Structures are given as C-alpha cells and as structure tokens.
Amino acid sequence: MKKVIVIGGGIIGLCSAYYLSKEGCEVTVIDQSAMDFGASYVNAGYLTPSHIIPLAAPGAMKQGLKWMFNPASPLFIKPRLEPGFLQWAWAFNKSCSEKNVKNSITAIKDINLLSVDLFSELKQQENFNFQLEHKGLLMLCQTQKALHHEVEVAYLAAKEGLEVTVLTAAEIGKMQPQTYINAIGAVHFKCDWHTTPNVFMEEFKAHLQENGVQFFKNEKVIDLRLEGTSIKEINTEKQILQADEFVLAAGSSSSLLSRKLGIKIPLEAGKGYRINTQRETGISIPAILTEARVAVTPMDGFTRFAGTMEIAGIHHKINPVRVEAIAKAVQKYYPEINVSTEEKAQAACGLRPVSPDGKPYIGKSSKCDNLTIATGHAMMGWSMGPATGKLVSEVISGKKLSMNIDAFHPDRRF
Ligand SMILES: Cc1cc2nc3c(=O)[nH]c(=O)nc-3n(C[C@H](O)[C@H](O)[C@H](O)COP(=O)(O)OP(=O)(O)OC[C@H]3O[C@@H](n4cnc5c(N)ncnc54)[C@H](O)[C@@H]3O)c2cc1C
C-alpha cells in the first residue's frame, strides 16, 4: 500500500485525498490551519465550464494597471519589489495574449466538464449530502460594451459545444421574477452548476475521516528534504514525516514550499471577498455582475455575493473599501437588495492561487519524482477540484489519465 502525504487541506487537497484513498493508498492530509476558512470556504461555489477564457487574456494587464490607483476596483495588482512577484508579473503580462487564450480554451473546458461529471458522481455514489444545482450562470450586463464582449465569449463557447443563450432585459425579468434586475441584457451559460462550498467542505472532511484518511490540523509544513530526485522526508512544526509520495496542494503558499526543492512555479495570491445574507433575496439563478465582476450565488439557505481579485501578497487582511464596492455593485444590479452594515462587517476573504497564464499546475516536475503538484487554479479551483484530485491519483498510481494534462505541466515556461 502506497503511503501518501497531501500538503494542504483545501478543495484540491481533499479531492486528491479522496481519489488516492479510493485507489487504496494510505493518505494523510496536513494543514497549517484549523481547516475552516480560506478560498475553499468563501468561494462563489460555481462549477464553470463557461469560464473558457483565462484571467490572462488580452487587455487584462492594461486594465490592472489602470485600476491600480482605484481602491474599489475589482482587479488590483500591488507592485512589490520581490523577485517572485516580478517574475510572476512578467509572465502574466506575457500570457495576456490571444495565443494564450487560444491554447487554454480546450484544456480549461475539458477539466471543468470532467469535474462537473465527478461532482455528480460524488452526489450519487457517496453518503454525504451537499447542494448541487444545475441552473446555469447569467452574465448580467449594464452596458452595450460588456454585453458585446459577453456575446463574443458566448459565440466561442457555443463553438466549443457549450449550451448558451443571449437574453434581453425582458427575458431576464421572466427568468428571475422575484426581484428586479437592472441590466440591459445577459448571456445565460446553461452549462454551469452551483454548490455551497462551506457545507461541502465540512461534509467531505467527515466522509474522508470515516474512510480512513488521517488529518493533522494546525500543523505547518516548514521544510521538504530531497535525496537525489526524491523527497526523503518533510518537517512540520511538530514532527518529521516520511511517505512514498507527496502532493503539494498548499494553495497560494505552494510556491514557497516548492522553492525549497528548487522547483519554480510562479504563483501569486489573488484575494477575494464574500458577503453572505440570510435574508430572502428572490435570487434563484447564479449571476455575475459583469462590469463589477461580482458573483451572486443562491446557496443552501442564504445568498452569497463574492468578488475582487487583489494581488497584494499572502495575508488575510480585510479591506473594507473592497467589501463596500461589492455591496454597492449588488444594489446597482438588484436595486431592491441592500446589504446591511452587519452583513458587511461579517465579510470574509480567501486567497486564490493564481498562475500567470490562468491554467493550474498539475503533475510532476522533472526535478522531483515523488511530488505531484496540484495548485494554481485561480478563479476555478472549486470547479476543477474533483477532476484535479482524480488526475493526481492517476499520476501517482500510474493509471491512464482521464484527460490530457500537458497544458498544466508544472515545468512549462512562460
Ligand atoms: C471570493 C472567491 C470566490 C471564488 N469563486 C469561485 C467559484 O465560484 N468557482 C471556482 O471554481 N473557484 C472559485 N474561487 C477560487 C477557489 O476558491 C480556489 O481556486 C480554490 O479554493 C483553491 O483551492 P486550494 O485547495 O488550491 O487552496 P486553499 O483552499 O487555499 O487550500 C490550501 C490549504 O493549504 C494550507 N497550507 C498552506 N501552506 C501550508 C503549509 N506550509 N503547511 C500546511 N498547510 C498549508 C492552507 O492552510 C489551506 O488550507 C473563488 C475564490 C474566492 C476567494
């Protein structure tokens, strides 16, 4: 029986543990936190085959620079004189190209579709309960410019075989009659699904534990020691551990650990915030408020508003200006919904692990033969979780891969 240590207990680490355990491995998950907060808990819960365009698309760097001095902007890149950031920024700028978009679409779509199937399989086959709804995603637009752009993306998505329709304001009203929506039109990606992440995470952890996965919480991995091209042991703050195989799924901190092995995977933390409201909102279909880049999700018993991408280092400080910007955007699109001061005060944040080209790193680096890297999923880590976990288990067990993962190679150059 192979012994595997998974570093990081977010959605990627847990999904890796699940599929590895199903393969008969003895799995331990180590996390520096109590495993109850962060990106995998605060996200918008979308499963997004619709998101075929990576963050690194033409114009993204320009937009980021334009918004640099606007504290309420949805994308904020804080320049820092750190080699890791400078390398990432250079690679991100280079990736903001038509070529990167063209090379990413199929791989991103395929991994998202695989994940949708696996979420459904989990729902049907396992004895833990979680919300999984198929209502699609509305890209709500208030300006002709945004609508035009979304229609262009819809055209590309349709060419990829995804189900998409363009809606007028009246059609939006008919779809969502319980609350007025201030938009001139929308694109409805029928291919998308949604979930309630924090509920899923709690249920999933309990299920894994019942099925023999061991957890070390509140225990930070501080070092990894190579012997030749294999990891011999890892040091946590409390103990030294050995295993046959290791999975690096430490989210936005992954590159800090990979560097200890001489493996460079450019990665930045992209902070995002969420506000929950328990009040009846009348929202039953998930939506993205396109111009404001705010996600709206009708979750299990509450509505979540989530947004911003703040590239400013690894910390969980809440910036009230950005929380306020999300609340304002909500009222601009849903004039009947007013986010309360109390709801804003309870906002939480998480760090997305953002690779420069918008694609995750999945697989083994040539520098280490018993480490599988699984990170860098940026805005789609929730959606890509189960597929990533399955691919990780296939890499480690040497099985045929469920899809081609060349585009996600950790050794790729930018
Ligand atoms: C506001 C917001 C909305 C989002 N909406 C969506 C969405 O709708 N759909 C979607 O697909 N994605 C969404 N995302 C992105 C998604 O949440 C992330 O991509 C995903 O959660 C990343 O998961 P992860 O397991 O890689 O990282 P994390 O969830 O960050 O988990 C990494 C874990 O590693 C641990 N760790 C780090 N360093 C160490 C160490 N040295 N030792 C031990 N443990 C360590 C951390 O404590 C953490 O628990 C959103 C993100 C945010 C912030």
Dist CA 411 CA 355 (whole Å): 12
User: The domain containing residue 296 runs over which residues?
Assistant: 3-408
Q: Which of 104, 145, 143, 17 is nearest to 414 (CA)?
A: 104
Of 86, 148, 47, 103, the residue nearest 358 (C-alpha): 103
Q: Where are the beta strands (DSSP E) in 228-283?
A: 230-236, 240-241, 245-248, 268-277
Q: Is the CB of 322 under 6 A from ligand 1?
A: no
* Residue 327, SS3 per DSSP: helix
Query: 269 CA distance to ligand 1 centroid (A)?
Result: 10
Give 377's DSSP letter.
B
The answer to whether residue 414 sits within a structural domain is no
Residue 64: the pLDDT is 79
Strand 287-289 relative to strand 137-141, pairing: parallel
276 CB less than 6 Å from ligand 1? no
Question: In ligand 1, which atom is closest to the CA atom of 297?
Answer: 8
Tell which one of 189, 274, 377 to mutate to probe ligand 1, the residue whose CB is within 8 A of the most ligand atoms.
377
Give the number of the atom of ligand 1 that is nearest the alpha carbon of residue 351: 53
DSSP run (H or E) holding 38: none
- d(C-alpha 17, C-alpha 32), whole Å: 16
In a domain, 202, yes or no: yes
Q: How far is the CA of 250 from the centre of ligand 1 (A)?
A: 8
Q: Are 384 and 111 in contact (CB under 8 A)?
A: yes
DSSP assigned state of 15:
H
Ligand 1: centre distance to CA 380 (Å): 10
Residue spans of the chain under pLDDT 70: none
In whole angstroms, how large is the CA radius of gyration of the chain? 20
User: Which residues, at least 6 apart from 210, have a Cβ–Cβ distance to it below 8 Å?
Assistant: none
Pocket of ligand 1 contains residue 306 by CB under 6 Å: yes
Assigned token pair, 368: 């280490």
With residue 185 as reference, give the H or E element that holds it. strand 185-189
413 within some domain: no
User: Ligand 1 pocket, 323 CB below 6 A?
Assistant: no
Cβ of residue 272 lying under 6 Å from some atom of ligand 1: yes
Distance CA 220, CA 7 (A): 9
* Residue 380 falls inside a structural domain: yes
Does residue 87 fall inside a structural domain?
Answer: yes
pTM: 0.97
Residue 102 is assigned to a structural domain of this protein: yes
Nearest partner of 366 among 230, 221, 232, judged by Cα: 230
| CA-based nearest residue to 347, from 410, 398, 273, 243 | 273
For residue 394, the CA-to-ligand 1 centroid distance in Å is: 22
- Report the distance separating Cα 95 and Cα 356, nearest Å: 7
Residue type, 361: Y
Residues ≥6 apart with Cβ < 8 Å to 413: none
Ligand 1: centre distance to CA 39 (Å): 4
Q: How many Å apart are CA 8 and CA 267, to the nearest integer?
A: 16
Number of structural domains, the chain? Answer: 1
- Would you say residue 316 lies in a domain? yes
What residue owns the CA closest to ligand 1's atom 15? Answer: 379
Cβ burial 24-41 (10 Å sphere, 16+ → b, else e): ebbbbbbbbeebeebbbb
Query: What's the rounded Cα separation, in Å, for the pair 217 and 213?
Result: 13
* 235 DSSP β-pair partners: 223, 240
Query: Does the beta carbon of 385 sit less than 6 angstroms from any atom of ligand 1?
Result: no
The CATH number assigned to the domain holding 277 equals 3.50.50.60
Asked if residue 144 belongs to a domain, the reply is yes
Ligand 1 close to Cβ of residue 39 (< 6 A): yes
What is the whole-number distance in angstroms between the Cα of residue 350 and the centre of ligand 1?
7
Name which of 269, 240, 266, 235 is nearest 252 in CA terms: 269
Q: How far is the first Cα of the chain from the last one, in angstroms, to the nearest whole number?
A: 38
Q: In a 10 Å sphere around its CB, with 0-12 CB exposed, 13-18 middle and 19+ buried, how is residue 260 labelled?
A: middle
Q: Closest ligand 1 atom to the C-alpha of 45?
A: 8
